[in-house]
Structures are given as C-alpha cells and as structure tokens.
Amino acid sequence: MVKLRLQRTGSKNAPHYRIVAADSRFPRDGRFIEIVGQYHPTNLEGQMVINKEKAIDWLKKGAQPTGTVKGILKKTGVLAEFATSKKTDGN
C-alpha cells in the first residue's frame, strides 16, 4: 500500500520533513517513490509547501495519508480540492 507520509531530514533540534509517497513496508527515512512537498515546523513563514497536482494525483491513485500529513493537506486545502475533483469526475 502506498502512503503519503513524513520523511525526516534536518539536524538535531532543527527538524525538516519531506512529504513523500512511499510503500508502507519501507522504513520512515528509507526509499520513497516521489516527493510531494515539504514541512518545516520551526519556520513561521513557508512552513508547508505542497505540490497540489502531485498530492491529488496520489490520492486519486489510492494513497493513504498518515494522520499528520492529512492535517497538513487539510490546512493547505488539498483535501478540499481532492473532494471537489472527485465529485466532478463522477466517482
């Protein structure tokens, strides 16, 4: 199963995360399929950067977001766009 999840980068006490599409069997910081965005929890500006087209494409393919990524997608409006695109596709 493909999941949209966080992959930790950055140094000790200064975390940065990539939002990636990865097989659920791979380790957290291991192999991934594609980078979908970035999340910087310590920055006030530019905290979440998401490629909406890639994220919606992966959601259409059946990728399951983890809890944290689901919250990030809600805040950036990607889940709302996904829901409206799902309605217009007739699914």
Domain boundaries, the chain: 2-89
What is the chain's pLDDT, residue by residue, as a tens digit (91 residues)? 999 999 999 899 889 999 999 998 988 888 899 999 999 988 877 788 999 999 999 999 999 999 999 999 999 999 999 988 877 776 5
Was domain 2-89 assigned CATH 3.40.800.10?
A: no
17 and 38 in contact (C-beta within 8 Å)?
Answer: yes
Tokens representing residue 27 in the block: 């380790």
What distances in angstroms separate CA 60 from CA 3, 39, 79, one per listed residue?
12, 22, 11
Closest by Cα among 4, 28, 6 to 17:
6
* Residue 28 burial (10 A CB sphere; 0-12, 13-18, 19+): exposed
